[in-house]
Amino acid sequence: MKKIYLADIPLEDAQKRFQTALEEAGLWQTLGAEQIPLDENAIGRVLIETVWAKISSPHYHASAMDGFAVRAEDTHGALETAPISLSCGSVAVYLDTGDPLPDWADAVIPIENIEPLSADGNISDDPRHPQIIRIRAAVSPWSHVREMGEDMVATQLVLPFGHRLRPVDLGAAAGCGYDKLDVARRPKVAVIPTGTELVYPGDPLKEGDIIEYNSIVLAAQVNGWGGAATRFENIPDDFEKIKTQVVQAAGEFDLILLIAGSSAGSEDYSSQIVEQSGELLVHGIAVRPGHPVILGIVKKDGKSTPIIGVPGYPVSAALTADIFVEPLLGKWLGRSPFHPHTIPAEITRKVNSRAGDDEYLRVAVGYIGDKTLAAPLSRGSGVITSLVRADGLVIIPRGIQGLQAGEQVSVQLLRSIEELKNTIFVIGSHDISLDLLSQFLAPCQRRLASVNVGSLGGIMALKRGETHIAGAHLLHPESGEYNLPYIQEHLPGMALRVVTLVGRTQGLFLAKGNPKKIQSLEDLIRKDISTVNRQRGSGTRLLLDFHLKQLDIQPESVNGYDHEEYTHLAAAAVVASGRADCALGIEAASYALDLDFLPLFTERFDLLIPEEFVLGELLKPLFELLEDPRFRNAVDTRPGYDVSEMGQVVAVLSGTE
């Protein structure tokens, strides 16, 4: 049953091939209309018929105020020093707001602008039912009157075909005479996950199990775009079972999303199922992530149903839906495809890319001074958190082998401009207290975007003007001082404030029960011990190097010294998985992954902040949190943390030293 890719074709060719097949099948058009009641459930539906006003709104001349209807000409000459009196019932009539204007009247005098009088000329006790009103200013025609059709005039265009309904649209439709609306029928989409290794959220896990959530994400995307998704039970890797479900769904649904099985492995059946059940149009697209996409048509009882074979990696799956599913649903619903807002930005570091593929690069976006910067995030197609953290996408077109640091790019935004302008960029070393800080900043209308590139990487980001803050814990081997010698070396001309975030304990992550009986760093040279290291430029890497040198241990004698991870949690995960026996890191990470921990050293973790940002409004909530007992307690309760020096200013560097 094994099938290799038909071709890895360019994206635009795949889109054209798919559209042509849909046009030939009569499926490149709206799917028809249905009539729905005009109520709150109509939100998000797409109009299939233009809404023309059946009646004017208001459909009569109405008083816009509580007051007295009059003829404007009867008020001419009224002055503060020469008031005019009008008899009620004949030339002045009281109206509440919204009451119809008498045929003879053409203006309304607000009640607060009249003096109510009784027949004897005294002030009346009932301002709404006096016998005479006295006025001290004239009014012009149609003052304080909502004229018929002021809002909408009968036959006027109110809402166009293809419009996606919002709450205010429902009010406009009701106001011009509608109680039902004709909307596009919601496309019915079958979302079918496949894979023997899949389990459901909440199920007990064993090695080799993969939690199935692609169908949740895809169904949510479909529903958010106006479709009606149905999630099917997961089907094991069984050719006949998958084929039976696909053919059955073709008779009941407008679109099938078949998840996984689109590669070329021994249990990847999707392309052959499509080929046997109808027409296989595309298998393999020159896009990353997401190149093993399948496009086809399934046929049953004379009915043609498009099918998209969605890659099993979660980032690939979500982006495949963005590229192919959303535009198709838009066509079926009679609306234009969504076009994300784009902004120009500078890429913060060099990015390599395969010249033959269009690449969708996830980036974090920050406004740093007068710059707009895009920092690349993890590119793994299985890293769903990179989409969660992404502020935007940068498309690197095929034919280009990458981007240079500082190069101008166009970013398709996944967040609002306002949210990005309230984002604090932190580039540098990873620490769990930064995650807590992000949590506490959220109610302050601030978002913390943290990019983990190591302490030295954070200092270089400051040098390039690419971050508001750098997190660092760089131990200087000669002086024994943290961070300051490196700042003086790399940032000699920068006005900078160094503020302590936490003190923390570093030590060795060990498997539960410490089966290898590791007692000290000296054990790292044992032949039966493997370790995992942090990346070059990280504070933890420098700390390890410092103490290995103190012990006269050569790095090449440590098994796993060149195996690098970018965060404490990632290093701990390697140990927890059994791929390494130990790793140097912070105690809180070992606790998070239920590892044993051998404490070895204490260190200081600082925030390096350019003076230009210290006094700005953006960072004000952050400094307040460093003094907040709730935040300090939240950090202090984590294993291996000391908050006694949190918020203390270690140094204020003028940039002239």
Say how many C-beta atoms besides its own lie within 10 A of residue 631's C-beta.
21
What is the DSSP code string of 364-385? Answer: EEEEETTEEEEEE----TT-HH
Please report where in the chains the tokens 């070393």 appear, as a residue.
Answer: 429
So what's the pLDDT on residue 331? 93
Q: Where are the domains of the chain?
A: 11-30+186-333, 33-58+150-184, 62-146, 342-415, 455-653
pLDDT in tens, 56-114: 888 889 999 999 999 999 999 999 999 999 999 889 999 999 999 999 999 999 999 99
- Phi then psi dihedrals of residue 323, to 5 deg: -75, -40
Q: What is the mean pLDDT of residues 236-250?
A: 94
* Whether 151 contacts 31, CB under 8 Å: no
pLDDT of residue 655: 66
Mean pLDDT throughout 556-563? 94
Give the HSE-up count for residue 263: Cα atoms under 13 Å, Cβ half-sphere: 14
Residues 29, 23: Cα–Cα separation, whole Å: 8
Residue type, 460: M
Token code pair at residue 643: 């908050």
Model confidence band, residue 279 (pLDDT cutoffs 50, 70, 90): very high
| pTM, to two decimals | 0.79
From 3.10.450.50, 2.60.40.10, 3.40.50.2300, 3.40.980.10, which CATH number describes the 11-30+186-333 domain? 3.40.980.10
- Average pLDDT of the segment spanning 307-320: 92
Gap between the Cα atoms of 8 and 290, Å rounded: 11
In this prediction, residue 388 carries a pLDDT of 85
The DSSP code sequence of 507-542 is EEEE-TT-TT---SGGGGGSTT--EEEEPTT-HHHH
In this predicted structure, the answer to whether residue 291 has a pLDDT above a threshold of 90 is no
Span 141-170, pLDDT tens digits: 999 999 888 888 889 999 998 899 999 999
Dihedral sign computed on CA atoms, order 471, 475, 479, 480: positive
Closest-CA residue to 195 (of 241, 160, 155, 161): 241
Mean pLDDT score, 191-197: 93
CB 308 within 8 A of CB 256: yes
User: How far is 147 from 229, CA to CA, in rounded Å?
Assistant: 46
Q: Band the pLDDT of 5: cuts 50, 70, 90.
A: low
**Does 3.40.190.290 match the CATH number of domain 455-653?**
yes
Q: Given this model, what pLDDT does residue 330 score?
A: 93
**The pLDDT of residue 2 is above 50:** no
By C-alpha distance, which of 464, 483, 487, 484 is closest to 474? Answer: 483
Helix (H) / strand (E) containing 633: helix 629-636
Q: At residue 7, does pLDDT exceed 80?
A: no
Question: DSSP alpha helices (H): ranges in 390-525?
Answer: 417-421, 432-441, 455-463, 484-490
- 172 has a pLDDT exceeding 90: yes
Predicted pLDDT at 145: 94
Nearest one of 531, 536, 528 to 572, comparing CA atoms: 531
Cβ count near 377 (within 10 Å):
20
What is the tens place of the pLDDT at every residue in 458-489? Answer: 999 999 998 999 999 998 988 889 999 999 99
| pLDDT given for residue 657 in this prediction | 53
Question: Which residues, at least 6 apart from 161, have a Cβ–Cβ distance to it below 8 Å?
Answer: 47, 48, 49, 50, 334
Instruction: Find the mean pLDDT for residues 196-202.
Output: 91
62-146: CATH topology: Molybdopterin biosynthesis moeA protein; domain 3 (2.170.190)
Per-residue confidence band for 4, with pLDDT thresholds at 50, 70 and 90: very low
Q: How far is 334 from 317, CA to CA, in rounded Å?
A: 25
Mean pLDDT of 268-289: 89
- Does the pLDDT at position 576 exceed 90? yes
Residue 264 has pLDDT above 80, yes or no: no
Q: Read off the pLDDT band of 1 (50, 70, 90).
A: very low
Per-residue model confidence (pLDDT) at position 3: 45
**What CATH fold (topology level) applies to the domain 342-415?**
Beta-clip (2.40.340)
Residues 6+ apart with CB under 8 A from 513: 596
Which residues is 472 bridged to in the sheet?
Answer: 606
Query: H/E element holding 256?
Result: strand 255-259
Segment 357-405, tens digit of pLDDT? 889 999 989 899 888 999 888 777 667 778 888 999 999 998 888 899 8
- Tokens 């004239």: give the residue: 138
- Kindly write down the DSSP assignment for every residue of 619-631, as one continuous string: THHHHHHHT-HHH
Q: What is the CATH number of domain 33-58+150-184?
A: 3.90.105.10
